[in-house]
Amino acid sequence: MKKWVKVCISSLLIMSMLTFIVACGKEEAKTVRIAEVTRSIFYAPQYVALAKGFFEDEGLKVELTTTWGGDKTMTTLLSDGADVALVGSETSIYVHAQGSKDPVINFAQLTQTDGTFLISRKKIDNFTWDMLKGSEFLGQRKGGMPQMAGEFALKKHNIDPHKDLKLIQNVDFANIPNAFLSGTGDFVQLFEPQASIFEQEGKGYIVASFGTESGKIPYTSFMSKTSYLKDNKETVEKFTKAIQKAQTWVEKNSASDIAKAIQPYFKDTDLKTIEMVVERYKNQDSFATDPILDQEEWDNLKAIMKEAGELPKDIDYDTLVNTDFAKKAAEE
Name the residue type at position 115.
G
**pLDDT value of residue 143:** 87
Domains of the chain plus CATH, in order, are 30-113+217-331 (3.40.190.10), 116-214 (3.40.190.10)
Q: At what angle do helices 295-307 and 145-156 cross, to 10 degrees?
A: 80
| Rounded Cα gap, residues 202 and 14, in angstroms | 68
Identify any residues that bridge with 326 across adjacent strands, giving them in sequence order.
none
Query: What pTM was computed for the model?
Result: 0.87
CB count within 10 Å of CB 266 equals 19
What does each of the 332 residues of the chain score in pLDDT, given as a tens digit? 444 444 444 444 445 544 443 444 456 899 999 999 999 999 999 999 999 999 999 999 999 999 988 899 999 999 999 999 999 999 999 999 999 999 999 999 999 999 999 999 999 999 999 999 999 999 998 888 899 999 999 999 999 999 999 999 989 888 999 999 999 999 999 999 999 999 999 999 999 999 999 899 999 999 999 999 999 999 999 999 999 999 999 999 999 999 999 999 999 999 999 999 999 999 999 999 999 999 999 999 999 999 999 999 999 999 999 999 999 999 98
On whether the CB atoms of residues 73 and 67 are closer than 8 A, the answer is: yes
Q: Does the N-terminal peptide bond of residue 146 adopt cis geometry, omega within 30 degrees of 0? A: no
**pLDDT value of residue 307:** 92
Q: What is the helix (H) or strand (E) element at residue 283, kind and residue range?
A: helix 271-283
- Residues 237-256: tens digit of each pLDDT: 999 999 999 999 999 999 99
On whether the CB atoms of residues 292 and 323 are closer than 8 A, the answer is: yes
Name the residue type at position 139.
G
Provide DSSP, 193-226: THHHHHHHTTS-EEEEEHHHHH-S---EEEEEEH
Q: Beta 187-191 vs 220-225: how paired, if at all?
A: unpaired
**pLDDT value of residue 23:** 45
**pLDDT value of residue 156:** 94
**pLDDT value of residue 26:** 53
Q: List CB contacts of 267: < 8 A, sequence separation 6 or more.
A: none
